[in-house]
Amino acid sequence: MLGLFHDYYTKLYGLPTAPDQTAPDTTQRFLRTHLRSKLTPHMRSSIEGPITAEELHEAIKRTPVGKTPGPDGFTLKYYKTCEKLLSRAWLASFNGLTEPASHLTPQSLSATITLIPKPDKDHALCANYRPISLLNQDVKLFAKVLALRLANHMRHLIHPDQTGFIPGREGRDNTTLAINLIHAAQRPGAGPTLLLSTDAEKAFDRVHWPFLFQTLHHMGFGPNALRWITALYDSPTARINLNGTLSPPFNIKNGTRQGCPLSPLLFALSLEPLLQAIRANPSIHGVGVGR
């Protein structure tokens, strides 16, 4: 069984891409045509500055205690206890990633994937488990600092239609909108209406990194922010944990890790160009209500 999961996730996280998907010119042309979200100069500078001890302390404070540690075994409690001793070294390491040829170590980027069965699914199929990446705590704190910075600007970059993972928005807002549209469709003279609900299979796991990074660049992220985010995706590896037994390691080449504080925000940003292209398509019309 462990071998089946290992083979499944090796393929899932090493998805081949079509030549036109990897062509930088194709992606740039799409983004120039459809993406309108841009950081202001002030927003850009607020993300670009050196990481501070205060930000690191805030990330530690906002991270829940009691979570399972990553492969190195160090828990958040250890980092909370030793924060004053380790803070200077952490900051030097994290801020040093803005220098050319600086990288996180392969050990830092390793993860253990725990599989959570999806409810009401056939658990004989590997696809019906949710992969949670147990990352090393120092990397999670680094990602948390970046997530806290980025969260301040998500509502500026992401259209109100997108509510998932955006601070100040809730998924039930879109549920209420859908209910209102259903009621509107039942009014006399409304005409035939179809409500279609779709679910992207393994959406987090299929994010194409070159497209993500070009999207961030097009949105106005500066060189420091791009290097910090790229460092988290510089040849990471993972092993499957099944009933206490670990699989051989395999490379991660696509996707945003479920378990990383930054992943939900990056996923929302990577989805926004498609949604803006749909909104701008003259063949796709909204539903008029209350006219």
pLDDT value of position 269: 98
Q: Which two tokens stand for residue 31?
A: 């983004």
pLDDT in tens, 44-76: 999 999 999 999 999 999 999 888 999 999 999
Pairing assessment for the beta strands 129-135 and 245-246 based on DSSP bridges:
unpaired
Domain boundaries, the chain: 2-15+36-170+222-280
Rounded to the nearest integer, the mean pLDDT of the chain is 92
Q: What is the pTM of this model?
A: 0.92
Share of the chain above pLDDT 90, in %: 79
pLDDT surpassing 90 at residue 83 = yes
pLDDT band at 17 (very low <50, low <70, confident <90, very high): low
pLDDT value of position 105: 94
Q: Sort 120 into a burial class: Cβ within 10 Å, 0-12 / 13-18 / 19+.
A: exposed
